[in-house]
Amino acid sequence: MVVETENENLCVNKLIAAKKDIIMVEGDMIVPDSKPDILNTICTSGVVCTYKKEVLDEKVRIDGNINTCIMYLSDDAQDKVRGINTSLDFSEAISVPNAKEGMNAIIKTKLKSIECKVINGRKIGMKATLEIDIKLYSREEVEIVNNIQNAEGIQMLKEDLRVNSLVGIGENKIYTKDNISIDNIDNLAEILKTDIAIVDKDVKISYNKILAKAEARIKIMYLTEDNRVSSIDTKIPIVGFIDIPNVTEENICDLDYEIKNMIIKPNATEEHSIYIELEIGVAAFCYEEKQINLIQDLYSPCENLEFKQKKITTITNKQTRKEMKQIREKVEIEGMENKNIIDVDVCPVIEKQENSGSRIIYTGNLEINFVLSNQDLQMEVRNSKIPFEYTLDGIEDAENVNSALEMEVANQDFIVQEGGIVTSNVDLVMNNDMYRSTNMNIMNEIQTNGEREAEDYSLILYIVKKGDTLWKIAKRYGSTVDDIVRTNGIEDENQIMAGQKLFIPRYVRPGIKYA
């Protein structure tokens, strides 16, 4: 006979597959007729746009492009520095075991490096390295038995758990555009270099809606018509709504941003300005914290019970922490004397993570590229690394914590001193996303299968073995934890020791008479 139960629903955002891969993107570019011949390249930058991603059986397909800016030295005596903007397209199918069509994907694409080789004065060969970080999730609805109706005589071992249940997943595209003003004395000739980063991320939750707020930090180096190199660093807002049914202010929400398309060009209708248009994809994963009273095991001293168990893995203790890391260092860079810093790219990279005790320790480097110029506007690039360590304190049982760290460069300042010494002041925003994985045995299909064999009332002398609990002993001999505690005068049912002697009362089924 099936036992009537009280159930609770739990939605698990199950991680199915995780994979990191490196792909190479190559192509050639012909210099436009309007541009002078190339002597050699000075520096190359790129912004990755991923406009399509698709999860298929056993693979993930990614389509996008790298919007590339090449700054080069021309063979024209008047135009010493010139720039070319081009697009390097890519389409890649990456093998991912256990991938299935319809799974939710979080894919982060990072430009590791981009190189240009001058084939001849009118042709450039380009080679880019992309790091692809793929995580695939499957939504699983689970029904948890947390109580049994009319459970007289049934012994239940319960555990109180706080878990994070998935409320919903949603996504949207946000379009933002702006005209960025440059100095009024600058007549823009061409764009030499572009960098874009999504920073200052924030989320506001109201009923059924997620408000995603962030800013696109845009750095542009440009050439003026009188052959001066200048730059501008600005931010434009990113604001959009994502509809998710049943989400409330008490929920926790993870947002993932990716640039899908971009347009950056001199404004054709307004002088001294640059037109910017961005298409940003935003995905939201929302969770609620649930308190569940999970039945771990059960039995009846008077009836035979049968049930099935299913093991699931879910998350608990989900939290985010945002902290500021200040890096103040002096570095010596050869060839910095009598040079002006035109632009600096700062890329923080984590090399190692160590979870120990109550701390998570990250070690990494600031990878820094300096674009320099002398009085004759001759330009070059110098590279440097600054090692750093970041410690996240106050983490209970840090060894069992899963953490993901995202870093934003909030502020940066570099001053060249005598002897090629550069004073570096960098502020990093450390966004920490943390949770624990927990395994749960979910019980279902509980039914009775006849009465247990009746036995005379008796006391059994039992010697506790290593690994025993009162629950295991009571279940083995058809007794109850309460009866064992009462018979032996035990103060704490969780404190028994190997070698301890216990009297185990055998259960007497009601209605059965013994001689």
- Which domains, and CATH codes, for the chain? 17-138 (no CATH), 153-299 (no CATH), 318-444 (no CATH), 455-505 (3.10.350.10)
Are 157 and 477 a contacting pair, CB within 8 Å? Answer: no
Conformation bin of residue 246: beta by default, left when phi > 0, alpha when psi is -120 to 50: left
Q: CA-CA distance, 48 to 485, in Å (whole number)? A: 66
**Residue the block writes with tokens 């028994």:** 496
Predicted local confidence at residue 80, as pLDDT: 81
Q: How many C-beta atoms surround the C-beta of residue 226 within 10 A? A: 9
> Cβ contacts of residue 42 below 8 Å, gap of 6+?
71, 72, 73, 81, 371, 379, 380, 381
Q: What is the mean pLDDT of the chain?
A: 89
Predicted local confidence at residue 355, as pLDDT: 94
Conformation bin of residue 61: beta by default, left when phi > 0, alpha when psi is -120 to 50: beta
This prediction's pTM:
0.85
Q: With pLDDT > 90 as the criterion, what percentage of the chain qualifies?
A: 62
Predicted local confidence at residue 334, as pLDDT: 78
The average pLDDT across 416-435 equals 90
pLDDT over 80 at 2, yes or no: no
Q: Beta strands of 207-332 (E only): which ranges?
A: 209-224, 229-243, 252-266, 273-299, 303-332
- Please report which confidence band the pLDDT of residue 448 belongs to, taking 50, 70 and 90 as the band edges: confident
pLDDT in tens, 77-105: 666 889 999 999 999 999 999 999 999 99
Predicted local confidence at residue 302, as pLDDT: 78
Number of H helices, E strands in the chain: 2, 20
- Please report which confidence band the pLDDT of residue 511 belongs to, taking 50, 70 and 90 as the band edges: very low
pLDDT in tens, 119-147: 998 999 999 999 999 999 999 998 888 88
DSSP track, 393-423 = ---TTGGG-EEEEEEEEEEEEEEE-GGGEEE
Q: Three-class SS of residue 470? A: helix
pLDDT in tens, 327-363: 999 988 877 777 788 889 999 999 999 999 999 999 9
- Among 207-216, 297-306, 486-495, the least confident range: 297-306
pLDDT in tens, 400-414: 999 999 999 999 999
pLDDT over 90 at 47, yes or no: yes
- Please report which confidence band the pLDDT of residue 513 belongs to, taking 50, 70 and 90 as the band edges: very low
Instruction: Name the DSSP letter for residue 508.
Output: -
pLDDT over 80 at 188, yes or no: yes
Predicted local confidence at residue 457, as pLDDT: 61
- Please report which confidence band the pLDDT of residue 154 belongs to, taking 50, 70 and 90 as the band edges: confident
- Angle subtended at Cα 489 by Cα 484 and Cα 492, rounded to the nearest 5 degrees: 80
Beta-bridged to residue 142, according to DSSP, are 10
Encode burial over 24-61: b for 16+ CB neighbours within 10 A, e otherwise.
ebebebebeeebbebeebbbbbbbbbbeebebeeeebe
pLDDT in tens, 250-270: 999 999 999 999 999 988 788
- Please report which confidence band the pLDDT of residue 1 belongs to, taking 50, 70 and 90 as the band edges: low
Q: How many C-beta atoms surround the C-beta of residue 352 within 10 A? A: 9
Beta-bridged to residue 256, according to DSSP, are 283
- Please report which confidence band the pLDDT of residue 510 belongs to, taking 50, 70 and 90 as the band edges: very low
Predicted local confidence at residue 452, as pLDDT: 63
Predicted local confidence at residue 454, as pLDDT: 53
- Please report which confidence band the pLDDT of residue 506 belongs to, taking 50, 70 and 90 as the band edges: confident
What is the greatest pairwise CA distance in the chain? Answer: 117
Predicted local confidence at residue 337, as pLDDT: 74
The average pLDDT across 367-382 equals 82
Q: CA-CA distance, 179 to 272, in Å (whole number)? A: 10
